Amino acid sequence: MPIATGVALAYNKSISPRVNRFQIRLAGPSIVRYVYMTIAEKTSVRRAPLKAGRIGVCKALTVALLLSAPFGVQAKATETETYNPVAPTIDQARANILIARQLQFTHFRDLGISDKLSGDVFDAYLNYLDGQRVYLTGSDIQALDRVRSRLGSALKTGQLQPGFDIYNLVQQRVIERLQFALETLDAGIENLDFNTNESILLDRSEAQWEPDQKALDELWVKRIKNAVLAQRLNGTDDEAITDSLKRRYEGQLKRAYQARSEDAFQAYMNAFTGMWDPHTSYFSPRTSENFNINMSLSLEGIGAVLQADNEYTKVVRLVPGGPASKQGQLQPADRIVSVAQEDEKPVNVIGWRLDEVVDLIRGPRNSVVTLEVVPASSTDETLTKTIAISRDEVKLEEQSASKDTIELERNGKEYTVGVITIPTFYADFRAMQAGDPNYKSTTRDVRKLIAELQENGVDGLVMDLRNNGGGALHEANDLVGLFIDTGPTVQIRNSSNEVQVLNDDDASVAYDGPLVVLTNRMSASASEIFAGAIQDYGRGLVVGSQTFGKGTVQAVRPLNHGQLKITQSKFYRVSGGSTQHKGVIPDIEIPSRIDKTRIGEDALDHALPWDQIDAVPHARYFDFSGIIDELRKRHENRFAKSPEFSLLQQEINFLHEQRQRDSVSLNLGERTTQQEQIQRTRLTIANARRELRDEEPFASLEELEDWQDLQAADLDSTDEELDFVIREGGHIMADMLELDKRMASILTPQQFAAQAEAR
């Protein structure tokens, strides 16, 4: 599961204690699925072959599997370096039974525990444990396959041993592989041949299992060569490379031998719960403690939500107003390679458990932690970058909505457009519950900002919800109310098909003029409810890219051992379509750098589908169908002539091309040529942007990266892309005013209660 490493979640989007107007909280985008353990952590066990005499608590299946499968390079381990198989506890068995009952009888998805589900759990569990298929062999899989159809019935009754048997076998194979890697390094990396025409797959999740140990040995030699090449191309000498890789593998071995029963249980339960949907997951007692710390705001760190991604720890999202967000360099989908404390050497964390990485990143306020990351745009380890972040708390005022204005000249007429940026949907619940009449909230702050903008005579308003992952539902409900008279804002359906409709009952309107709402793929949950309602009411246009598609509600329920976060309800727009899976489709689309195939609800396994229910009666303030084609035409004409958009499209194409690469060369000359080409392209795009601003070009990539570091450290610096997209929102606003002066007038709304519209 993702864990916030900063103080972070003032309004954690992952929990909903109960569905009601004032307390529900929406889950933000949770990329991939909630996986507590890293694949490599599960793969972090190898330095001595398991001896038959040490099998102990493992049952016959484990004995048969371990003793019949071929072993790898024999370890130079001492007698103390022996893997002790983990075993389930009575408390875990009881928790398993409770989880199975909750899933079958209270989850939104009606899903029974069948033979098919048993096979799916088996596949998902192996994916958790060896997602890149680098530890188990084809013969191991054949041996394990005998329990494929038995896991379901065992999970119903708390029989955990089959899952633990699988875990122990994988851990043993991990130990063997890491032993082999260390012995390869001991033989000297100068003996590795980098003049061949070999290549290695970047993603092996769909690859065939290697048939035997010999084939795995060959694969691991390639993995080591890739790791060596990556560091050589970064200018590291062979001695330092050998030391770095040894520390990496030895660290994984140390943690492998320290494998805990809870590790196996957590992985097994998340493979099980993930069958219902990607947002349903099990929290171990330790994870529950971390979660509760996040909710109580007593945690200090960098303000980033992390999750396991094969052998890496990946950034899911940044907390608005947090240290990482303000520093500006760390981005969603970046993968963390190493972590360094002040004045200490970096610690390589590839293959570490997620909770261990989180503990390493946490620290006291005002201390500095340095992360080495593989950027989201990079397809391998070669192009890493180093990011220093000062730890701090996330303060409510730093998440607050803010305003700005842009001036546009169109055909001799001047337009002033107000811009309100909302990083998250927040509310100071403590102050609210204490009866403080001046408590902070999104809606209260936006109402004030609108009044201030209107004093300056703005012609229109742009609401920027890009990268807003959600927050308090009642704030989304109330924010819609600032732009409509009264009416429904969202529907919530539970597993019993009971539908609750949330309404704005306040007839006052803060703003009745033309409106544009900006969204992107990271706009989720409460953001999608607001954007969807504005679209359904015809109160404004949604501009940008398709939103995340997170349209479900979770509740956290206590168990005898840990907690279960379970999906219990689903959101629907007033027009009847769910926000789940599809999200909100913009009226006018602007391309984004974000890869929709990797980020978004529809990129997650077992995500609940889009569906629709009946619409509820609601007003329709303006019908854009008469002008939308002309608006799109004008927008496309501007973009066709826009050098900023041309550069953005070039960058998107470049990133797409990099993402399409499924392998990298292990030939030093070819790999060097590939990296130089990538660096030239990055430098060309950056210098083209500088030319547009009449600035001197960068002489080298190093100069560009130094400049980026300075920009990230300057909190007052401006993001040109944000200005570019916001200005286009303003131009669309001006187009709306030119085409129809009645734009979204709320004076004569039409009542609209048709059946749900498919968007």
Q: Indicate which residues carry an active-site annotation.
A: 525, 536, 550
DSSP bridge pairs for 496:
none
Please give the backbone phi and psi of residue 323, each rounded to the nearest 5 degrees, phi first: -55, -45
Helix pair angle (720-739, 643-660), 10° resolution: 120
∠ CA(147), CA(150), CA(154), 5° rounding?
Answer: 120
CA of 518: how far to CAs of 22, 532, 728, 742, in Å?
26, 12, 10, 21
CB 418 within 8 A of CB 462: yes
Beta bridge partners of 336: 313, 373
Shortest CA distance to 580 belongs to which of 559, 549, 558, 557? 549
Instruction: Fill in the DSSP letter of residue 301.
Output: B
**Which residues touch 631 (CB under 8 Å, ≥6 apart)?**
541, 587, 588, 624, 732, 735, 736, 739
Helix then strand then coil, in percent of the chain rounded to 5, is: 40, 15, 40
Any idea how long the chain is? 759
For residues 647 and 682, give the distance between their C-alpha atoms in angstroms, rounded to a whole number: 11
Residues 6+ positions from 701 with CB-CB distance below 8 Å? 679, 682, 683
Q: Collapsing DSSP states into helix, strand and coil, what is residue 131? A: coil
Angstrom CA distances, 29 to 308, 397, 556, 600, 713, stand at 15, 23, 17, 7, 27
What are the CA-CA distances from residue 426 to residues 265, 292, 308, 315 (Å)? 35, 18, 27, 22
Q: What is the DSSP string of 493-520?
A: EETT--EEEEEE-----S--S-EEEEE-
- Nearest 5 degrees, angle CA 738-CA 733-CA 627? 55
Tokens of 678: 């990538």
Pairing of strands 413-421, 460-464: parallel
What the block records as the tokens of 759 is 């968007």
Interatomic CA distance for residues 686 and 691, integer angstroms = 9
Q: Are the beta carbons of 233 and 671 closer than 8 angstroms?
A: yes
Q: What is the CA radius of gyration of the chain?
A: 27
- Residue 276 CB contacts under 8 Å (≥ 6 apart), including other chains: 103, 107, 109, 111, 566, 567, 606
Burial class (CB in 10 A: 0-12, 13-18, 19+), 358: buried
Closest CA to 18 of 400, 569, 458: 569
Dihedral sign computed on CA atoms, order 31, 319, 521, 108:
positive
Quick one: tokens of 661?
């690469």
Token pair recorded at residue 654 = 């470049």
